[in-house]
Structure 1
């Protein structure tokens, strides 16, 4: 009998962090075979996708190549998409991979496991709203972010010709007042300023209007009211039009229609309202909630199968008092660390410990203009409220912490140095 095989599906923050930890502790010592399955060949930290969408983040500099990373951290990378699950045989069905022309690159395959970890993250939830899939950009993946960037650059260029303009001002409608929506809104004003600085647009052609539309009574409904209020004030200073208590009933190519019948004319639409786990998770034969999240126990084991685990945004993990762990990056990181310890304990014949989520606070970045948030939260304290320069520094440190978890201290330090040098050597915005 060979060593046990742990298959992790999904190379996001939770999945890649888990594969890295297990590779260092189990894979390196040949105590287990660690396999990471992902449809993409590279990893980009999801909280930075709004920067990739505006060109501020250069994916070629910040993405992690799974092949090189796996070789350095003692796990095996397999490219593919999960298509089905045979729990009795402990076998995954992997869909065929095709190229841009539809030609098959790799055939459909199967992959055995002893322990399975689902870390597939989340996608935006359009709630079945008519026209959203056809006329709105989503920013759930690097591919979608790059698609938005191409459309955005082309739209700015189009507005440099008065004959091609739809409206007096280039108008972007962002549905969703969560972190992605408000951070993207601020980045767009930075983009407008940089495009002018790089000569892509003239001073007269950089007029921009951004609408942020939120169905809840305030922005950032998942965070404290003070953060939501401060962020709204900062966005309105930039010129963002904020709509609260406003639901969208239809999206069209050139406008968004609210439930009250108001029409907001737009040149670009972005849907960043609500999250859910990928739809196919509800078809695997495991118990899920209405958001397609896998129902797990506090040990992060599926309620149906002790050999299957789920973590991050695709898991519905009980928090207590009929509440659940929120779909946030810090929760995914905490669960990744906890599950690594639990899997090590499982292979050593020890009992599993329950996961306890600790809210460390939240930070929201408003491009180069501001950052807002609180830190050191606890059940008895609202934490320390931060704004301005110090908040921006703490926000930047979150990405460094992620890099530490997947690269280690020496490489993270070198990456920081390279980033500092590139701020002087290269344009701040990628224009292609």
Structure 2
């Protein structure tokens, strides 16, 4: 028996760890990931301002798994009928059950020039490029940095640029502009959350243009549907997501069972999930993590002998305890109906990141994240 997990992000890693404990000892468990590393994606934006975090938020999958075989390769296609996975290095990998945890990629919506001229924010190299480009803006005396897309990712990226400009003492020379076609920042979230996020952006002097649809980009300007073009010195795009190339860029619809096809499940951002209540689940790390328990149980159920009957699969219901977003050195936290900002929100945000690293990475990684956040960090313990 062979079970394959495609992707080593939040969904892939946590599902793998559950399957390691529950699969029969003689079952082969294979994880395929194009980098071989687990990236703590919710901390990626911070690398723009603090490149030293790179090692703390990047952990080899071989250090996080016990019995699974980790293959560093690119998934180029999935044949759910034949139960095979096509790999970039050549050949195919057959499976008895599979979980597609490949995450989403940046969607550019065929907007002329946007993919060519903008930097996305999905990988470490993207954050490093954004940092280099920002340093280039500073070297020329300042300018305009445009971030397209005011969802959680765009808000966090804009906040990092604004905070970095302040740290470098050039806030008056750099204009950080956040644009979105929706009527407000962080669309889809409660109004009090949106208002708090907008307040944090205002505190950092981030210019926000909502109801502003990007239509195209040139090498030095972003064009809009209903306003004059905006010249820029740096352009970052976080304006949407699409499915992975292995699924031809699609995010297929799956129901609460997470079943994509027979013995094949989709977990995380690679699919558009409609849960047991008929609600569309947001594409987020939180949702990916919370789906893995039902995904593990259903994948194991799909392998059981059922005398010709379809296996009985559970329905997953997404329930969120709240939402968090960093905005420079500040943060906004929604816990139930309550909204936290300032130090209280920062503590919540840091605690979530550190807890994840301590549980799924290492105490060393967690301490390095804290070290970047806390004044007097040299007093923190070291691990040798």
State TM-score, norm by structure 2: 0.89
Q: Provide the aligned C-alpha RMSD in A.
A: 2.3
Alignment of 1:403-418 (within 5 A): 403-407=357-361, 411-412=362-363, 414-418=364-368
Sort the Cα spacing of 1:134 and 1:315 in 2 relative to 1 into closer, same or farther, 3 A: same
Whether the 8 Å CA contact 1:218–1:245 is kept in 2: the answer is yes
Q: CA deviation at 1:345?
A: 4.1
C-alpha distance in 1 between matches for 2:71 and 2:288: 22
C-alpha distance in 2 between matches for 1:177 and 1:296: 26
Moved more, 273-282 or 385-394: 273-282
Sort the Cα spacing of 1:355 and 1:128 in 2 relative to 1 into closer, same or farther, 3 A: same
Alignment of 1:25-424 (within 5 A): 25-26=22-23, 30-55=25-50, 58-70=53-65, 73-96=66-89, 108-159=90-141, 169-194=142-167, 196=168, 203=169, 207-282=173-248, 292-302=250-260, 305-319=261-275, 323-347=279-303, 351-368=312-329, 370-376=330-336, 383-407=337-361, 411-412=362-363, 414-420=364-370
Sort the Cα spacing of 1:364 and 1:421 in 2 relative to 1 into closer, same or farther, 3 A: closer
C-alpha distance in 2 between matches for 1:79 and 1:327: 25
Gaps of 5+ in 2: 306-310, 379-384
C-alpha distance in 1 between matches for 2:276 and 2:18: 28
- Determine helix, strand or coil for the equivalent of 1:120: coil
- Determine helix, strand or coil for the equivalent of 2:275: strand
How many residues matched? 371
C-alpha distance in 1 between matches for 2:289 and 2:209: 32
Q: Does 1:10 align with 2:3?
A: no
Q: CA deviation at 1:320?
A: 5.8
Whether the 8 Å CA contact 1:42–1:63 is kept in 2: the answer is yes
C-alpha distance in 2 between matches for 1:236 and 1:325: 29
C-alpha distance in 1 between matches for 2:210 and 2:83: 47
- Determine helix, strand or coil for the equivalent of 2:269: helix
Q: Deviations over 1:130-160 (max 9, x none)?
A: 110111110012222222222222332232x
Q: Deviations over 1:87-119 (max 9, x none)?
A: 4442211012xxxxxxxxxxx132121111111
C-alpha distance in 1 between matches for 2:182 and 2:171: 34
Whether the 8 Å CA contact 1:53–1:139 is kept in 2: the answer is no
Q: Deviations over 1:35-65 (max 9, x none)?
A: 1101112221112221123335521222111
C-alpha distance in 2 between matches for 1:268 and 1:332: 31
Q: CA deviation at 1:338?
A: 2.1
C-alpha distance in 1 between matches for 2:189 and 2:27: 40
Q: CA deviation at 1:322?
A: 5.5
Q: CA deviation at 1:190?
A: 1.9
Whether the 8 Å CA contact 1:174–1:211 is kept in 2: the answer is yes
State TM-score, norm by structure 1: 0.79
The residue aligned with 1:286 is none
